[in-house]
């Protein structure tokens, strides 16, 4: 996939700010600090389009990035970088407000073509990841599970970890699972293939 244009559009703290142009959207979900923004930068071959940080809980809004692929096969779409969940250092009230915002987004967004559920390959899918996966499946959302930070493990260990992760989610009807690394580019082609498939099969709902 070659990208002709990628731009940050809006950081939305409430539903009224979500774009209304009805372009398809691909959501990036995962625990705080798992590597969502880094994955986005790697996919777009941009260093700092999405802000990354060593401080967990950095992304507090939904950040929309408009992507225009080269050619006419894939039409323009949005990547939506969601705030990370599962970060202990924030207040209960703040956590509830994030949760409300994200749930609102999934329920309201009729243009969601799919979700990337991003986990750390070293930790696998923990309880909060499983909760999200079950929820995405209940919404019949095409979902690809991405085990990132693969560079942190040796080739042998990453294969074994990936096997364990797959065994743990074998009963879930996911679109696919794959390994990724923002550091060494592992999984780059495969992830674009899955995103293209989501965008190809997505049918825009009629305006009622």
Binding residue (CB under 6 A) for ligand GTP from 24, 35, 124, 187: 35
Site for ligand GTP contains 183 (CB under 6 A):
yes
Q: Which of 32, 37, 109, 143 binds Mg ion (CB under 5 A)?
A: 37
133 Cα distance to chain centroid: 12
56 binds, options Mg ion, ligand GTP, none, Cβ within 5 to 8 A by partner type: ligand GTP
Interface with ligand GTP, residue 84, by CB under 6 A: yes
Task: Pick one of 109, 144, 177, 181: the residue that binds ligand GTP (CB under 6 A).
Answer: 181
Which residues 6+ apart lie within 8 Å of 183 measured at CB? 149, 151
- Alpha-carbon distance of 127 to 147, in angstroms, equals 15
- To ligand GTP, the closest distance from the beta carbon of 70 in angstroms equals 25
Does residue 59 bind ligand GTP (CB under 6 A)? yes
Chosen residue from 59, 143, 148, 194 binding Mg ion by CB under 5 A: 59
Minimum distance, C-beta of residue 88 to ligand GTP, in the bound complex (Å): 13
- CA distances 115 to 111, 147, 153, 154, 194, Å, are 12, 14, 25, 28, 10
> Where do contacts with Mg ion occur on this chain (CB under 5 A)?
36-37, 59
> Where do contacts with ligand GTP occur on this chain (CB under 6 A)?
30, 32-38, 52-54, 56-59, 84, 148-149, 151-152, 181-183
């Amino acid at each position: 996939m070659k990208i002709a244009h990628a731009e940050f559009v809006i950081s939305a703290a409430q539903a009224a700010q979500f774009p209304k142009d009805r372009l398809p959207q691909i959501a990036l979900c995962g625990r705080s600090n798992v590597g969502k923004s880094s994955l986005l930068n790697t996919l777009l071959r941009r260093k700092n389009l999405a802000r990354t940080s060593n401080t967990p809980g950095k992304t507090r809004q939904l950040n929309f990035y408009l992507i225009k692929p080269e050619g006419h096969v894939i039409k323009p779409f949005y990547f939506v970088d969601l705030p990370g969940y599962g970060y202990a250092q924030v207040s209960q009230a703040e956590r509830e407000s994030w949760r409300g915002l994200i749930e609102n987004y999934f329920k309201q967004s009729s243009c969601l073509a799919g979700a990337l559920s991003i986990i750390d390959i070293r930790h696998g899918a923990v309880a909060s990841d499983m909760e999200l996966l079950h929820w995405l499946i209940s919404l019949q959302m095409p979902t690809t599970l991405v085990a990132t930070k693969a560079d942190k493990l040796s080739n042998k260990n990453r294969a074994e970890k990936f096997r364990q992760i797959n065994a743990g989610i074998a009963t879930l009807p996911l679109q696919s699972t794959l390994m990724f690394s923002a550091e060494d580019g592992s999984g780059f082609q495969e992830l674009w293939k899955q995103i293209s498939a989501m965008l190809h099969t997505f049918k825009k709902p009629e305006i009622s």
